Amino acid sequence: MITKEYYYNNFYGWWKNIDKTILIIFLILLSLGLFFSLVSTSLIASNKLQTNSYYFFAKHLVFVVAGLFILFSFSILQQETLFNLSIILFLLFFVLLALVPFIGIEVKGSKRWIDIGSIARLQPIELLKPFFVITISIIFAMKKYQNKYFKYFISLFLLLPIVLFLISQPDLGQTLIMLFTWLVLVFVSGISLIIFFLFFSFFIGLTSYLIFFVSKFEYIKVRIMSFIDSSGGNNHQSEKASEAIISGGFFGKGIGEGTL
């Protein structure tokens, strides 16, 4: 029979080992997100879409509660169980990412999502990222293989197909996140700085090539050139941001007024 003392000891062990600073910062960020979804543009957007006034806030709240449940569920797992589960989930979401070109939903020229009936629209890469980090960390920490460079090769072997799938969507933003996440993990693993900067230079070169010479990513090139030369046009978002800052503030029109 499981007693109250058992639950108390487990909770005490969990609370003692968890990083409280990260947890508090995380909860503050979630609270701020909920607050701004309630007081900023939620009501305006709901009126325009003719939905319940608190529809977007309620939807945000549901995902926050679900996220907290998943967070605490994973945090109480034993290390070995967490590692095994992470590898399984990494493989599962990798398969879903590979299926996006075949069963994915195209939105504004990009095919990045999978519809799960009428329940939700899933973007596999968002679910893959945390388990990618854990899986690569497991590889780097393996004592079975002492050769660091063999571990880098295995991790790169896992990274490259993910990058190729993301480029095909196309999704350069997520591609860069995955590349630089891998670079950070490689850096903290204790790699030679010379080899690290060779990797870094290669990825910068690859990114530059994709932006300036591949037609799929022409829109990113346009954004960069517009940022450098704002007089050249195509700076609609910058203009709207400036208008929001000028007309907003504590005593202005407020967030969302005149820009939606």
Close Cβ partners of 170 (under 8 Å, ≥ 6 residues apart):
110, 216, 217
Residue 238 and residue 224 in contact, taking contact as beta carbons nearer than 8 Å: no
What mean pLDDT is predicted for residues 198-226? 78
pLDDT at residue number 80: 87
Per DSSP, helices labelled H in the chain are 4-17, 20-39, 42-49, 55-75, 79-103, 124-141, 148-168, 172-188, 193-213, 218-228, 236-247
Give the tens place of pLDDT for each residue, 104-127: 888 777 788 888 766 677 889 999
Give the tens place of pLDDT for each residue, 213-249: 777 777 777 777 776 766 655 555 555 555 555 555 5
| Model confidence, pTM | 0.73
